[in-house]
Structure 1
Amino acid sequence: MNRDQIPQLLKQVSYADPRLLPSDPKEVMALAALWATVLADVPADFAMNAVGEHYATSPFPIKPSDIADRWNTKVRDRLHRDNGTFEPNDFPDLDPDDVIGYLAALRGQRTAVAQGYQPPNTVKAITAGAAADEVTARLKTLGTYVPRQVDELLDAHRPIKAARRAALTAGEPDALSVPCDWCQADIGEPCRSRRIDPKGGATSNRRRATPHPSRIDEAQTAMREQQEEATTA
């Protein structure tokens, strides 16, 4: 709401509570300025309806914060029901690489849902149904698409994954594709440095930046066997 819309709202409130409006015009202007500040993000029609809803259930005078709270609750409910994506027929006509444009369109869609200009998109994600396990398994097999420039930016923060990708790109074996007999790391898990505790037991807490040599040898053996099988098949 803007300051010009507030007097009509205050007049409507005064029908239920005449004490709200001061007799001094200057005080009315100051009151309108205060309400306009609190209700800056609230649509005028919503505020008008909120007055009636308030006095239908409460004998206490309404405050601008009461209206703002009602509006914020409404917005949260709409955004909670929205899955944050576009309907198939409303997907923006953009270049696939126009990330900035896509994010701007997505913000516009979320704003339209929050303001009530567009209903929430309640279509469930594909991984939320009965086929979730199958979809998850396929994604693990196929991988997910990440632009190369994004991967390069993230490499400094995930050296283990960067090393695996570099090995595959160079045609070398991925050491993490096999378990480690030395530190007992599972497939996909980085190797751990083995230490001996005071009681003589082995501990493995600190992650290694590189796999153990025996694990690399095992991965090379597994890759040769796969190549031989592919050749004889």
Structure 2
Amino acid sequence: MTEWGRTGMGKIALVTGGGTGIGLAIARGLSAEGYTVVITGRRAGVLEKAAAEITGETGKPVRAIACNVGDPEQVAAVFAEIKRDFGRLDVLVNNAGSNVAGLLEDISFADWSGIVAANLTGAFLCTQQAFRLMKAQDPRGGRIINNGSISATAPRPNSAPYTATKHAITGLTKSTALDGRKYDIACGQIDIGNAATDMTRRMSTGVLQPNGETAVEPTMSVKHVADAVVYMASLPLDANVLTMTVMATAMPFVGRG
């Protein structure tokens, strides 16, 4: 291990898609609780800025590593760096993802493949690498938390690729929770509805509803998501939140209206 791993870093957490939005809030929340946080994303500049901001707020070092989670070689390199510099990983938050909206019949194969790679393949690749590290480290085990989204239960209009991947994340969460038992690896999923980020800013002006109308939707502070993830991460490994929904109370979800 390097100096990073020899100076009382505490628990180590990796947050994918950690440079902006929900991922940034989660990384900030974990850092404030004393975790040493590693954040990944596609844009190195955005990650470095986020890491500096969090470190300035919490006083804890944050490692920024540019990575396309849909690329197995890049994912393997991230986990090799974590193993080298920290010696272990205690929490993985599979948060990275992207979206494309459009009529189902008009979605291109390239767009479909890109969403599947970012939202599903990336989570699988990171989970696979986390298993290899967590089952071999001492003490053994760790926790994996997947960002499922409200769309893991109910779709929005014109969201087939995103919704399909988020439904699949639920299956990955359950399989991971089952297969991780023998290694003391716990896995849970947080389904988030209308957290206020740059991506949800359009909700203040109106978004398409299933009945064809456009309506303004309520949002909630993204800090509530971070607080929920910190709680999930704080549990001992003999306890697990398998699924949790955190949503703006008045958003159209129950009955989608």
**TM-score scaled by structure 1?**
0.17
Structure of larger gyration radius = 1
TM-score normalised by L of structure 2: 0.16
Flag the structure with more relative contact order, 1 or 2, with Cα contacts below 8 A and sequence separation at least 6.
2
Instruction: Name the structure with the higher strand share.
Output: 2
The structure that is helix-richer by fraction is 1
